[in-house]
């Protein structure tokens, strides 16, 4: 009987288990997770879980491991892979053999050089439930919180922490928030909204040291500016965890390199989720670090393992909640073509779409989830659309999609 070992019990690993069974895999599945908790939903860590202190939503309903016949090994860390023996070495000096291996080990919070000399526990990061719980312990009305990094996690945290009654100072090194993921226009939009929420934002601020003096966090910047607060959080991105793969000799470049079926350069080994550098539909490859791409990669790798490989080059897709708005994005906003701004019937900006040769390449939606559902299908299917219809916020995207799919059939 074949054994598939999956290392990492986040959304990628759990989806891989589910997909293997749904694809008819009848061998054994062993799922390793280095956290002791049942697999949980990570996007909530910066939002509801932090705010309420309640448990994060589970990734699967109780008893799922029996239903899917998965051997769960939670709280066990895999320290190395021996490809020759096809075995995983565990920290308790035991090993587990496999026929196929899926690396779904995720990413870790990137550290900031300026924070490396700070005493342990004085500077927070957010990646795990333990991180979220430790941060929550320090929050409360009137506490002054300094968030270093104005990307997705930084802006989500600024929103949540502010609504918990804290004073929030958000420091970003570049000249706009969210530049990498949402682009300049949306970055400015979010900055306005966060400012409206009472978040104090400083752009172009490069942090050089974080120290603690009598319980007060002292954040110093290259310009000579200083910010003091009760809590410091570093949110400067994530780094794919590649150590296991790299030490075993697999090719890595900010992520384990895989083909569009999830295969690494060892035919028995697959990589999915944040740890994998996956080919993109529009060229190039990179680690995407999103919930939905992780699911898609897991489904694809499972098909490959059962001998029904179907390449799944990725289009980045994710969502965020910033300053009370539900923002969804797909594709890369920067690129060839023109940006179409779609207004809501009330006249507010509701969507930015990048249109190239009549096809939507990328889109960002603000509080327009229902319309965005159809935009994602238009992007996936590369249907040609009418740019006037797109810009007209009174024409629902459902109708734009129907018109485009009819036109596509005619071709």
Partner 1 sequence: MAFEKVCNLEDVSEGEALQIETFEEAIAVYNVGGQIFATQDRCTHGDWSLADGFLEDGVIECTLHWGKFCVRTGKVKAPPACDPLTIYPVEVRGGEIFVDYEAGKVGE
15 makes contact with partner 1 (CB under 8 A): yes
The DSSP bridge partners found for residue 257 are 277
Complex with partner 1: residue 129 or 221, whichever CB lies closer: 129
Complex with partner 1: residue 102 or 201, whichever CB lies closer: 102
DSSP state of 280: B
Which one among 21, 60, 71, 266 touches partner 1, defined by CB under 8 A? 60
Q: How far is the CB of 79 from partner 1 (least distance, A)?
A: 29
Among 68-76, 145-153, 230-238, 366-374, which window interacts with partner 1 (CB under 8 A)? 366-374
Q: How far is the CB of 252 from partner 1 (least distance, A)?
A: 27
The SS3 assignment for 317 reads strand
Please state the φ and ψ torsions of residue 371, each to the nearest 5 degrees.
-65, -40
Pairing relationship of beta strands 28-33 and 3-7 according to DSSP bridges: parallel
Alpha helix stretches (DSSP H) within 146-196: 152-163, 179-196
Please state the φ and ψ torsions of residue 153, each to the nearest 5 degrees.
-65, -40
The residue assigned the tokens 């965005």 is 372
Complex with partner 1: residue 133 or 369, whichever CB lies closer: 369
Q: State both tokens at 388.
A: 């006037």
User: Of 132, 142, 163, 141, which Cα lies nearest the Cα of 322?
Assistant: 163
Complex with partner 1: residue 59 or 256, whichever CB lies closer: 59
User: Of 148, 189, 204, 169, which Cα lies nearest the Cα of 322?
Assistant: 189
11 makes contact with partner 1 (CB under 8 A): yes
Complex with partner 1: residue 310 or 370, whichever CB lies closer: 370
Q: How far is the CB of 17 from partner 1 (least distance, A)?
A: 12
Which one among 51, 286, 326, 343 touches partner 1, defined by CB under 8 A? 326
98 makes contact with partner 1 (CB under 8 A): no
Which one among 180, 225, 226, 370 touches partner 1, defined by CB under 8 A? 370
Complex with partner 1: residue 150 or 262, whichever CB lies closer: 262
Which one among 260, 372, 379, 383 touches partner 1, defined by CB under 8 A? 372
369 makes contact with partner 1 (CB under 8 A): yes
CA distance 49 to 33: 20
Complex with partner 1: residue 167 or 380, whichever CB lies closer: 380
322 makes contact with partner 1 (CB under 8 A): no
Q: How far is the CB of 292 from partner 1 (least distance, A)?
A: 6
Give me the numbers of helices (H) and strands (E) for the chain, helices first please: 11, 26
Alpha-carbon torsion angle 147, 149, 151, 152, nearest 10: -30
User: Sign of dihedral through CA atoms 272, 275, 281, 284?
Assistant: negative
Q: How far is the CB of 59 from partner 1 (least distance, A)?
A: 6
- Decide: 350 and 368 in contact? Cβ < 8 Å: yes
User: Taking CB under 8 A as the rule, which mask of x and - marks residues 281-320 in contact with partner 1?
Assistant: ----------xx--x-----------------------x-
Please state the φ and ψ torsions of residue 48, each to the nearest 5 degrees.
-60, -40
59 makes contact with partner 1 (CB under 8 A): yes
Complex with partner 1: residue 17 or 248, whichever CB lies closer: 17
Which one among 5, 14, 182, 400 touches partner 1, defined by CB under 8 A? 14
377 makes contact with partner 1 (CB under 8 A): yes
- Decide: 59 and 99 in contact? Cβ < 8 Å: no
Q: How far is the CB of 263 from partner 1 (least distance, A)?
A: 23
* Sequence-ordered list of residues with C-beta below 8 angstroms from that of 214, at least 6 positions apart, any chain: none
Among 86-94, 175-183, 213-221, 370-378, which window interacts with partner 1 (CB under 8 A)? 370-378
Complex with partner 1: residue 10 or 240, whichever CB lies closer: 10
Alpha helix stretches (DSSP H) within 31-178: 48-52, 64-67, 129-138, 152-163
Total residues in contact with partner 1, by rule CB under 8 A = 21
Put the strands of the sheet holding 216-221 in their side by side order. Answer: 207-213, 216-221, 226-229
CA distance 297 to 171: 34
Q: How far is the CB of 55 from partner 1 (least distance, A)?
A: 12
Tell me which residues touch partner 1 (CB under 8 A): 11, 14-15, 41, 43, 57-61, 291-292, 295, 319, 326, 369-370, 372-374, 377
């Amino acid at each position: 009987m074949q054994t598939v070992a999956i290392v990492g019990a986040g959304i990628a690993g759990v989806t891989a288990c589910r997909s293997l069974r749904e694809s008819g895999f009848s061998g054994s599945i062993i799922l390793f997770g280095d956290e002791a908790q049942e697999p949980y939903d990570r996007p909530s860590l910066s939002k509801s879980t932090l705010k309420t202190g309640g448990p994060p939503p589970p990734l699967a309903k109780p008893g799922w491991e029996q239903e899917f016949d998965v051997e769960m090994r939670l709280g066990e860390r895999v320290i190395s892979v021996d490809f020759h023996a096809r075995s995983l070495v565990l920290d308790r000096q035991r090993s587990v053999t496999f026929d196929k291996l899926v690396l779904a080990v995720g990413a870790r919070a990137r550290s900031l050089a300026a924070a490396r000399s700070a005493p342990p526990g004085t500077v927070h990061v957010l990646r795990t439930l333990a991180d979220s719980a430790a941060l929550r312990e320090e929050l409360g009305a009137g506490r002054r919180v300094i968030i270093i990094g104005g990307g997705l996690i930084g802006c989500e945290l600024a929103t949540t922490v502010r609504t918990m009654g804290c004073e929030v100072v958000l420091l970003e090194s570049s000249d706009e928030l969210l530049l990498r993921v949402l682009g300049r226009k949306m970055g400015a939009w979010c900055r306005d909204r966060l400012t409206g929420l009472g978040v104090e934002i400083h752009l172009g601020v490069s942090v050089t040291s974080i120290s603690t003096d009598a319980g007060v966090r002292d954040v110093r910047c290259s310009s000579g500016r200083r910010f003091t607060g009760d809590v410091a959080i570093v949110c400067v991105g994530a780094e794919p965890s590649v150590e296991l793969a790299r030490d075993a000799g697999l090719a890595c470049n900010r992520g384990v390199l895989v083909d569009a079926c999830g295969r690494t350069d060892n035919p028995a080994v697959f990589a999915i989720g944040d740890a994998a550098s996956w080919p993109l539909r529009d060229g190039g490859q990179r680690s995407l670090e999103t919930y939905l791409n992780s699911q898609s990669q897991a489904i694809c790798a499972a098909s490959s393992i059962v001998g029904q490989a179907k390449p799944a080059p990725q289009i980045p897709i994710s969502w965020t909640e910033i300053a009370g708005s539900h923002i969804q994005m797909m594709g890369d906003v920067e690129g060839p073509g023109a940006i179409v701004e779609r207004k809501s019937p009330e006249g507010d900006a509701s969507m930015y779409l990048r249109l190239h040769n009549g096809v939507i390449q990328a889109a960002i939606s603000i509080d327009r989830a229902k319309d965005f559902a159809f935009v994602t299908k238009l992007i996936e299917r590369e249907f040609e659309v009418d740019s006037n219809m797109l810009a007209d916020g009174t024409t629902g995207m459902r109708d734009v999609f129907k018109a485009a799919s009819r036109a596509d059939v005619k071709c």
